[in-house]
Amino acid sequence: MPKIDHEERKARIIAASIRLFAKHGYLAVNFGMIASECGIARTLLYGYFKDKRSIFNAAVDGVTARVERKYAEVVRSRQSADAKLRQICITVLAMLFDNREFVCVIADQIAFLRRKGEDVSGKVVEHTVGVKKIIGVLIGEAIRRREYDSRVNIGRTVNLLYSQFEAAALQLAITGNAEFSECIDRLDGILFALRAPDAPRSM
């Protein structure tokens, strides 16, 4: 009898759940539907996850962990600060586009919680503060290295760059017509405007 890869099975359960959440809405999906989609018994499903929320949270944690590994890899690399910042921003945008179904699910879930009167700002901040901190550090590094103009305001620039991620997520969730290449073009325009007049082009 072949050995069961439990991590692979968990990943398949999460992927199947996201497909169902995106198709039917989070509230309409139950454990029976998830078990059927995965081709396993509902009792077996409970051995991996206690409820829908735990599947949803595991999906968020999985995406976050993958992105954080990429962040660490980029930050350790021997590139200019400008090149690192661009790569970090592209990583975030790629994550949104690669997980567009899940972006829709998250938007739907946030809207539902807000309609219930729950304050979701803490949950949102929890998953954004790390990205903003890294972006801020890299902007500061680029200023110190004279890659960016010394007059660049770090806080405002962090918010401007982060707004590009929010705009892409909103387009993916609401209209579905976001274009990755257009997002990169806007990003490059912002980063180019930050450069010091005598800084070499690093892209």
Q: 176 or 180, which is more confident?
A: 180
Whether the CB-CB separation of 25 and 52 falls below 8 Å is answered with no
Please state the domain extents for the chain: 1-50, 60-194
Q: Which residue has the higher pLDDT, 186 or 109?
A: 186
- CA dist 85 to 33, 56, 57, 137, 155, Å? 42, 29, 28, 9, 15
Over 60: is that where the pLDDT of 150 sits? yes
HSE, side-chain direction, 13 A CA sphere, residue 67: 23
Least confident of 46-50, 56-60, 132-136, 143-147: 56-60
The pTM of the whole model exceeds 0.85: no
pLDDT score at 203: 43
65-104 pLDDT tens trace: 888 888 889 888 999 999 999 999 999 999 899 888 888 8
Q: In whole angstroms, what is the distance from residue 15 CA to residue 39 CA?
A: 13
Each residue's pLDDT tens digit, 135-145: 999 999 999 99
Cα–Cα distance, 192 to 157 (Å, whole number): 12
pLDDT given for residue 191 in this prediction: 97
- Separation of alpha carbons 64 and 96, rounded Å: 11
- The per-residue pLDDT for 3 is 74
When the pLDDT of each residue in the chain is averaged and rounded to a whole number, the result is: 87
Measured between alpha carbons, how far is 154 from 140 in angstroms, rounded to an integer? Answer: 7
For residue 86, what pLDDT is reported?
96
For 34-45, the pLDDT digits (tens) are 999 999 898 999
What does the alpha-carbon distance between residue 40 and residue 28 come to, in Å, rounded to a whole number?
19
Q: What does the pLDDT read at residue 2?
A: 62
Reply yes or no on domain 1-50 having CATH 3.40.50.300.
Answer: no
Question: Where residue 125 falls among pLDDT bands split at 50, 70, 90?
Answer: low
Instruction: Output the CA–CA distances (angstroms, integers) from residue 14 to 25, 31, 59, 178, in the order listed.
Output: 15, 12, 6, 25
> Does domain 60-194 bear CATH number 1.10.357.10?
yes
